[in-house]
Amino acid sequence: MTRSDVKNPTRRGVLAAGGSLVVSFAMLSQAFSQEGEVQGTAPPAQPKPKLPGSLSGDPFLDAWIRIDAGGEISVFTGKAELGQGVKTALIQIAAEELEVDPASIRLITADTDRTPDEGYTAGSQSIQNSGTAIRHAAAQVREILLAQAAARWQVPADQLRAENGRVIRADGQALDYGSLVSAEILHVEAAPQSRLKPRDRFRIMGKPMPRVDIPAKVTGTPIYVQDMRLPGMVHARVVRPPRPGATLMDVDTATVERMPGIVTIVRNGSFLAVVAEREFQAIRAMRVLASSARWSEGARLPSPDSLIQSLKTMPSEQGVVAEKKGGGAPGSRTFQATFTRPYQIHGSIGPSCAVAHLENGTTTVWSHTQGAYPDRAAISEMLGIPPEQVRVIHVEGSGCYGHNGADDAAADAALIAQAVPGRPVRLQWMREQEHAWEPYGPAMLTEVRASLDQTGKIVEWNYDLWSNTHTTRPGPAGSLIAARSLPTPFEAPPAKLSITPSGNGDRNAVPLYAIPNMRVIWHFLPEMPLRVSALRALGAYANVFAIESAMDELALMADADPVEFRLRHLEDPRARAVIESAAEGFGWSRDPLPEGRGRGFAFARYKNLAAYLAMALELTVERESGRTRITRVTAAIDSGEVVNPDGIRNQTEGGIIQSASWTLYEAVTFEETGITSIDWASYPIMRFGAVPDKIDVRIMDRPGQPFLGTGEAAQGPTPAAIANAIRNATGKRLYDIPFRAEKVKAAIGV
């Protein structure tokens, strides 16, 4: 973007304020997505020393931080608030390094007209990438302001200090930040090194700070995209076919057109939607339209009974995730088992929603997308217009937990908006549309074969996993439902196998344990019988479940305590520390518990490169019904340097409950004619009655260590800790998620 095409009114307003630093947007449309692949189309910048965090994609300081003449501070992030509290943490970081009050910072989140392109808000990377960039940018801005004041006063900068938005001299004289900014002093590239504040001088970071978004959320202040109300806004609903691939043959639009409040009906190929003045009018019209629509057959779904088992026989491509031959004595005892996980949904409580507005040739879309820039690319490709004619602004929605219906709803709204130029369109999906059409977390099948030597150590580990890709996000228009429904449908791009450090289906497929001989293979399945994409933790959920279940069986074989057995195979002191902390906090022991009660342990380092998490839990299994209830959980987490301890605690508690819900209850159901889990009765999740009595989260103190992604760290260990505890309580091992009451009952044979 150049300076002359600044078109956003707010920005123009700021520009008008004389003496402002806000001059240009340092925007290189290059950013790295969270799942390891390069996003964006611009050629990469020349090789330079690597800048910290997302500064490497967008090196200009004023892309991240701007201060106007009045001293108002704006901090920009390409990341989005998804309910994970990222806004609060980023404000803490910026306020700390800038030496200002957190309340004085205005944080602007993902907006293709205003913020850097940081790809997706995913993979627990926001603090690692954006937080690191903002921290360094803030520290460098502070140093620039100090130098500016030093020049003005003609004193050495080291005699000055920054405090509360001012630079202060030894004699007490002070200059406001606003009076120190001029012209383009912040329009400079970041240096690779910054003078970060030492921890002993922290005022804000590392301390719990109340979330900035919570007061609005508890008082009904409009903050969600679902709450948007623009002048002249109309309401839309889409009508979906009975299953993907079905084409629209015929529909009676005349009846609907006569219904009250109808603005228009959009029929474009097999894309069908209705627009009305009032929301409930749109819903009623949607039902009438749906009842008269006739669709072609479409693609039949596979038979549900055998699908997961048959993943093994589907065409696949092999990717070697890890291979190591380190010799050692041959194994004397072997554990071998197959584990599965079904398709599971994100299941946001608020169905996907978007507002779109076509005005003067530009389509503005407000969306709870995780990737404003990639979504813009996909939508503009679908509409056949240049990306500059689409602006995507992130507005918070209901919690997302991965790639859900957000981008599809944004595309639906954008397409409908073309039919009612000048009028903003609010579209929300119905509950059954969310359940049936969001991309699911892929089903997986995994096989472990591991052997112990005479001394009770693992000498050999073979692991095979069968899975689709876990990423079909936009970028390409073909990833959007609306684009696939057009008269000339866009095709979903073929999925490709790629083995990356942070992993995908193979995320956490390699155990962190010291094992001399290891072979880990991803049998990559290009064919996707059900639509799938990123669900919180990707493959780590199934892989850690399998690995940590196997570790427990191996410990039993070796007649070892499961905690001690894990420590026996771990060298990394931080891994050992979380395990010891969780065991101690929980009061771990091998003493037998009363009938029907069991305890289980599990550990993983998320992606093998982010936060470490160990947990112990206790549960009860009701013999007559097979019902499992977790009673207490202790988790220990090491997220590196802590920004907001309460935020880490909140995320970890939530991750444990959500993953426990996946594990105990959740599976997408379908028949050949379509998805049958279409509401909360056919797809039950955890309710209050089953929530543990107590969850304790212990946070390791790691001053000065890099931030480590936290948001998904609990997803993998939770199913394993549950399975291990059920094994401990009943003597039976469960291999197939979910562990619904009837399955547990059948396993324990009562």
Partner 1 sequence: MAVTLTVNGKTQQVDADPETPLLYVLRDHLELNGAKYGCGIGQCGACTVMVDGEAVLSCVTPVLLLEGRRVTTIEGLGTRERPGPIQQAFIDEQAAQCGYCIPGMMMRAQALLQANPSADEAAIRAALEPNLCRCGTHMRIIKAVMRAGEAMRQNSRGGGAI
Q: What is the bridge-based pairing of β-strands 362-367 and 390-394?
A: parallel
- Closest approach of ligand FES to the CB of residue 348, in Å: 7
Which residue, 346 or 698, is less far from ligand FES as judged by CB?
Answer: 346
Q: Which of residues 382-401 bind ligand FES (CB under 6 A)?
A: 399
* Contact track, partner 1, 399-418, x by CB under 8 A: xxx-----------------
- Closest approach of ligand FES to the CB of residue 665, in Å: 16
Q: Which of residues 60-89 bind ligand FES (CB under 6 A)?
A: 83
- Closest approach of ligand FES to the CB of residue 680, in Å: 8
Task: Residue 685: name its binding partner from ligand FES, partner 1, none (Cβ under 5 to 8 Å by kind).
Answer: partner 1
647 binds ligand FES per the rule CB under 6 A:
no
Residue span binding partner 1 (CB under 8 A) among the ranges 62-70, 129-137, 205-213, 525-533:
205-213
Q: How far is CA 666 from the centre of its chain?
A: 19
650 binds partner 1 per the rule CB under 8 A:
yes
Task: Residue 650: name its binding partner from partner 1, ligand FES, none (Cβ under 5 to 8 Å by kind).
Answer: partner 1
* Contact track, ligand FES, 331-370, x by CB under 6 A: ------------------x---------------------
Positive or negative, the Cα torsion across 106, 110, 111, 116? positive
What lies within 8 Å, CB to CB, of 214 at 6+ separation is none
* Contact track, partner 1, 255-274, x by CB under 8 A: -----x--------------
- H helices of 276-316, in order, are 279-292, 307-310
What lies within 8 Å, CB to CB, of 694 at 6+ separation is 631, 632, 633
Positive or negative, the Cα torsion across 225, 229, 231, 235? positive
564 binds partner 1 per the rule CB under 8 A:
no
| Residue 750 contacts residue 163 (beta carbons within 8 Å) | no
Task: Residue 421: name its binding partner from ligand FES, partner 1, none (Cβ under 5 to 8 Å by kind).
Answer: none
Please state the φ and ψ torsions of residue 237, each to the nearest 5 degrees: -135, 145
Bridge partners for 107 per DSSP? 75
Task: Residue 428: name its binding partner from ligand FES, partner 1, none (Cβ under 5 to 8 Å by kind).
Answer: partner 1
Angle between helices 540-557 and 717-730 (to 10 degrees): 40
Number of residues that bind partner 1 (CB under 8 A): 63
* Contact track, partner 1, 430-449, x by CB under 8 A: xx------------------
Cα dihedral 472, 345, 397, 479 in deg (nearest 10): 20
Number of residues that bind ligand FES (CB under 6 A): 3
Identify residue 595 by its one-letter amino acid code: E
Please state the φ and ψ torsions of residue 351, each to the nearest 5 degrees: -60, 155
* Contact track, partner 1, 39-78, x by CB under 8 A: ----------------------------------------
Among 396, 464, 552, 641, binds partner 1 (CB under 8 A): 396
What lies within 8 Å, CB to CB, of 427 at 6+ separation is 235, 236, 237, 238, 273, 353, 354, 355, 356, 409, 412, 413, 416
Residue span binding partner 1 (CB under 8 A) among the ranges 59-67, 265-273, 543-551, 687-695:
687-695
Q: Which of residues 399-428 bind ligand FES (CB under 6 A)?
A: 399
Task: Render 417-455 in DSSP notation, one character per residue.
Answer: HTTSTTS-EEEE--HHHHHHHSPBBPPEEEEEEEEE-TT
- Closest approach of ligand FES to the CB of residue 103, in Å: 24
Which residue, 168 or 233, is less far from partner 1 as judged by CB?
Answer: 233
Residue span binding partner 1 (CB under 8 A) among the ranges 115-123, 240-248, 611-619, 675-683:
675-683
210 binds partner 1 per the rule CB under 8 A:
yes
Task: Residue 278: name its binding partner from ligand FES, partner 1, none (Cβ under 5 to 8 Å by kind).
Answer: partner 1
Q: How many CA atoms lie within 13 A of 324 on its CB side?
A: 17
Among 242, 298, 516, 654, binds partner 1 (CB under 8 A): 654
- Closest approach of partner 1 to the CB of residue 398, in Å: 4
- Closest approach of partner 1 to the CB of residue 78, in Å: 20
474 binds partner 1 per the rule CB under 8 A:
no
221 binds partner 1 per the rule CB under 8 A:
yes
Cis status of the peptide bond prior to 493, with omega within 30 of 0: no
**Integer Cα distance of 748 and 627 in angstroms:** 11
Helix (H) or strand (E) holding 2: none
Beta strands in 43-197 (DSSP E): 65-67, 73-76, 105-108, 161-163, 166-168, 174-176
Residue span binding partner 1 (CB under 8 A) among the ranges 66-74, 183-191, 470-478, 673-681:
673-681
Q: Which of residues 330-389 bind partner 1 (CB under 8 A)?
A: 346-351
Indicate the length of the chain as a whole number: 750
230-to-222, 233, 351, 369, 643 alpha-carbon distances in Å: 12, 5, 20, 19, 36
Which residue, 83 or 626, is less far from ligand FES as judged by CB?
Answer: 83
**Integer Cα distance of 423 and 562 in angstroms:** 62
One-letter-per-residue 3-state SS of 241-265: CCCCCCCEEECCCHHHHCCCCEEEE
280 binds partner 1 per the rule CB under 8 A:
yes
**Integer Cα distance of 277 and 369 in angstroms:** 25
Positive or negative, the Cα torsion across 714, 531, 251, 416? positive
What lies within 8 Å, CB to CB, of 654 at 6+ separation is none
Which residue, 347 or 719, is less far from ligand FES as judged by CB?
Answer: 347
Could you list the residues that contact ligand FES (CB under 6 A)? 83, 349, 399
Could you list the residues that contact partner 1 (CB under 8 A)? 82-85, 210-211, 213-222, 224, 226-227, 229, 235, 260, 278-280, 283, 346-351, 396-401, 428, 430-431, 646, 650-651, 653-658, 661, 679-681, 685-689, 691-692, 694-695
